[in-house]
Structure 1
Amino acid sequence: MSGTIAARLKALGITLPEAPAPAANYVPWVRSGDMVYISGQISQGAEGLIKGKLGADMDVAAGAAAARACALSILAQAQAACGGDLDRLVRLVKITGFVNSTPDFTDQPKVVNGASDLLVEVLGDAGRHARSAVSAASLPLGVAVEIEAIVEIR
């Protein structure tokens, strides 16, 4: 992973995780033309799954950190789709964030900002994206956040 984005990651002190393997019968990403559709990436870090329910046992800051972890996995999947060279990424088109939250929790956008902020910090203007941030009654394995993405590559 050499190039401008690799240098930016290094300057930010960020090491991408290995692209997570699928947990069921699906592929981690699909390329169609110049578009890559990245399957939902669940919140996980070096210590394992980041679990919780926003509005019950997790606050917005912890939720945003979980979303940031999802964004790192999105970048790892994008790197895999680009054959290891993230400089082939033209732009992040859209993300959809699912937040495991109580019915009365309404700060899903603030949680998903954890991912959006990181992606813009790493990718600059190419990281500015359309997005949705929605509530989910539960998510796989009890994780706090799941985010899928669409990216354009060359």
Structure 2
Amino acid sequence: MEYKELIKKAREAQKKAYVPYSNFPVGAALLTKSGRVYTGCNVECASYGGTNCAERTAIFKAVSEGDREIQAIAVVGAENEYTFPCGICRQVIVEYGKNIKLIIGKTEEDYQVFTIEELLPKSFSPEDLQTSKRSCCNDI
């Protein structure tokens, strides 16, 4: 699937966002190795902590369907601006691989492509739990 088509699907998902507090709708479209596409939008909650981002919504949908081999995720936000995943989303994305492509789109014609490793260098990932490496939090 072309990146332009993923951006288009992310824009469609963005229209479903529930954003009564921030008024900042975000959409995501995730492509898996199986060729399936999962979309997500941000869903806000009055308690703020219960809010979920578009990227994680798409990832959780894919994972809940047993589809964990993510190839790419397109993310769109404000028109004519690049909207990048937040830190929590970057951490969740790297859980599924360091070479996942992120397509950050202003429009279907104007976008940038990064790997998650470029956006979250030196990340703590599943590989760290399978080696002698330890996080500062593992001793808690």
Q: TM-score, with normalisation over the residues of structure 2?
A: 0.39
Structure with the largest fraction of helix: 1
**TM-score, scaled to structure 1:** 0.36
Higher relative contact order (CA 8 A, sep 6+): 1
Identify the structure with the greater strand proportion: 1
